[in-house]
Every structure is written in structure tokens, then in C-alpha cells.
Structure 1
């Protein structure tokens, strides 16, 4: 099955390309300095002898009428075309936000949860968090023992202020996975194979065991089980200056795990924060009970597959 991408408005990253290649054979056609005739000729060549094709319009420029007519004629042959915005949402589970903030069409669709949705989420929060807290108590006790054994000088529980609903701060709890005073001076992102992380701490981060104390945050009402991950004010202030609409993720409570966490690796820079925002806003926009269950299921796969970073 062939996927044809027309233009360069949105650059697909490695994660997206790997996901696409599981189902499609992607091909790219640049539109720069090409006539409509040249573009149609390249499309015709790629569309020959293929059982299924999907064409993605990935350009800021207006599509010439002649090219639109050609694409419409291809639809009669079973060859579909759609915009990059619709492709990202339908096939990759994320919304599209241009880095220059020029597109605001999606804004009226990003809203906080309705009362019925909030009720369902709180039922899910309590029905999973309380039993999970009880069942995981032996794991948490063992985690505390290993932390004190490998890094005896610091506390077992790491407390840090994070930004939650409506931009308000709350105290977030985690099992400490780094050496004491890991951040000296300016805060910095955790990275893969971070030297500040001790051996058991690395295992906890990969399996998400370090997040278990946040079940108390969920019960208290600071967080949901599922939602955008809470971030520190230091990083929020930077991201809100540089990433369009980053503040929109604060119209809902944060979560222990979330759609961005199960779809994208651990964030290590501003580009990762931008990519995670696309997933977070997709989750808020398309929230449903089934998306909640899908996120929980994917989280379990991450935990037992140790795919976390």
C-alpha cells in the first residue's frame, strides 16, 4: 500500500515514519519549483500498479485547480486524498499545530471536560487508583527498600511543585530515582542513560513504578489517572513562550499517564514538548471512555514491556 505525501509543511519525525511504514510504503513529492504538469506526472507514475493509495496534501500553498481536478478524478478510482491535519488526527492520533501559530481552526474544538465526562473520569480514577494502590503496596514497600539501599542519603518520596488545572501549582509525589541534589543550579531535562539516575531508579522509570505515589494525588483530586503529564513552572514558562497554545493543556487536570506518554518517548527537549502537546490536545479534543481504556491498556504494555525511558 502506497502513501504519497505532497509538500513539506509538516516534517514527519522518525517515530511517525516508523508507525506509517508498518502499514504503508511512504513516498514524498516536493512541490517546490514544479509546475502542476510535473506534479501530476510524478503522481501518475506512483499511482500505477498499486492496489491502494492515499495522498496527503502537506503544503501551505493553495492547490491549483488543475491539481484538485486530477486528485478528484483519482478518488473515482479508489485513490483517496486528505490534508495533513486530517491525516495526523485520523492515522497518528495527534492534532496539527503549526509552530508559527498561524492555524487557529482547531481551537474551538479544544474544550475542558463536560460534567458527565468529569464524572466518568472520577469514577475511573477511584475504581482503578484505590485497588491499584492496595495491590501495589508490596511493590512500593520493596521500591522504598531498594531506594534506601542504593541511595541512602536522600528521601524515599520526592516532592516537587508541578502545574495543574488552570495553571495552578500542586505538590506532586514520586519515588526518588536520582541521586540527592541531582539538580544543582538551573533545572535540566532527564535524558536517556542519565548519570544522575541510580540503577534501581532507572528500572523504576522504565516500568513507571516511580509514578505510583501519584495515586495519592489522584485520590486527593490534584490529578486524574489519565491526562497530560504535569510539568514544572520553570519549563512551562519557557514552553508557553516558544510553543503556540501550550497553555491549552492546562484546561484539564494532569494525569499519572497519558496519551502523549504512551505514544511518544520521554521528553528531553523543547521539540519533544511540542510533539507531546500534539498528542495531549488530541486526547482532550477526542476524549471518550474508549480512548481512556485504550490509554490504560497501552500504559500496561509500556510497564510490562519496559518501553519507558
Structure 2
């Protein structure tokens, strides 16, 4: 890592997030109104996540599921999840539900580029079979990254880990710019938002069957 990288990364995070919030404010307003009009529930959804150094924070998202969707316990979204509202299906397909995380980035909880922040209870399940999974927390969690560009919701945790560690090992200003551009491209590929198999709480085949050390 270049000595100037942390400073440049933080400065670009703030500038990009503020610019994004200003430019996207009309879209954010329309989405918020649609969510509220659909069922009268809250517009935003807060969830506990992990970031650099196992720091716990609350991530912000547009609510895409019915109210009390996880009253039976935490589980990831499946391909045909009946908890997802009609408005939720659209904002998940277009990744608009993630845009409120620009606020998390300004606050310093996250970065624009980095490993996606995992939920503590889900990470605990992964660590039982994949102890190396916590290596993702060596850097600040991100809105996008290798795993989001080249993976899917149903990509195995092991493969996500490989992609995240690849980023951590090679991170640079140029790589961050490339990943941001690639992220914009995949917004037009609906398949990239595919969920996991019906009924599962975590992606199947945690290790992926191809672990090499």
C-alpha cells in the first residue's frame, strides 16, 4: 500500500458519497415515497454489521422486505423470497436499496470499495467451517468490491473470501476506480442480484469444495 493511499481513499469516499447523495436525491426521494405508500412501514432498514477490526455499526438500507421480515431469525434472501415487496424487488434488482449506505461512508463506518460488511450472527456461522473468513475485517467494509462485481448473492463464502483477500492484497487508487466503474456496469445485469437457494440461512457449500492452502 502506498503511504498516501489511506488519505486519498478517505477523501474520495467523502467526496463521492456527498456527490452521489446530491445527484441521486430525486431518485432517493421517489423510492422513499414508494416504500412508504406501499404498506405505510418505515422507509429505511437498519441492521447490525461488522467492519474493520470487528467494529460493530448499523448499516442503512432502503427497506425491501415486509415489516418484521426476520421475526423468525436472521436468514439471507432467497431467489423467490415472499418477504420481498414489489417495490423491494425493483430496488434490489437495481441495487438502489444500497444507496443509503452513502451515509455510512460519510460517517466513516464504510468505504466505497471494500469487502461487504457481514452480520455478526452470519459471520459466526461461517467461522465454524472457515476461520479465515475474519481476515476480511483487516480493512474497512465497502459498498462494492471484487465479490460484488464478480460474485453473486449465492457465491460461496469461500469464493467471496478469495475475492475479498485479493482486493485487500492489491488495493490501490487505480483498483478502486476500476471497481467503481465495473460496479456501474453490473447495475444493468439483473442476474447479479440472484438470491440463495430457498430455505437456506447462508449460501450453500461454505467451503466451495476447492479449498487450497
| Equivalent pair of 1:205/1:308 in contact (CA under 8 Å) | no
Residues 1:264 and 2:151 aligned together? yes
Of structures 1 and 2, the larger Rg is shown by: 1
Instruction: Identify which of 9, 12, 16 aligns with 1:124.
Output: 12
Query: Residue 93 of structure 2 corresponds to which residue in structure 1?
Result: 206
Query: Residue 43 of structure 2 corresponds to which residue in structure 1?
Result: 156
List runs of 5+ in structure 2 lacking aligned partners.
194-213
Q: CA RMSD in A?
A: 1.5
Q: What CA deviation, in whole Å up to 9, does each residue of 1:240-261 have, x standing for no partner?
A: 2211311100010001111101
CA shift, 1:203, in A, is 1.1
Query: Residue 294 of structure 1 corresponds to which residue in structure 2?
Result: 178
CA shift, 1:115, in A, is 4.7
CA shift, 1:121, in A, is 1.1
| Equivalent pair of 1:155/1:176 in contact (CA under 8 Å) | yes
SS, match of residue 192 in structure 1: coil
CA shift, 1:304, in A, is 3.1
Residues 1:140 and 2:28 aligned together? yes
Q: For 1:162 and 1:200, how far apart are their aligned partners in 2?
A: 24
Query: Residue 65 of structure 2 corresponds to which residue in structure 1?
Result: 178
Find runs of 4+ consecutive structure 1 residues off by over 4 angstroms.
none
SS, match of residue 147 in structure 2: helix
Higher relative contact order (CA 8 A, sep 6+): 2
Q: For 2:36 and 2:14, how far apart are their aligned partners in 1?
A: 30
TM-score normalised according to structure 1 size = 0.60
CA shift, 1:155, in A, is 0.8
Query: Residue 196 of structure 2 corresponds to which residue in structure 1?
Result: none
TM-score normalised according to structure 2 size = 0.86
List runs of 5+ in structure 1 lacking aligned partners.
1-112
| Equivalent pair of 2:115/2:145 in contact (CA under 8 Å) | yes
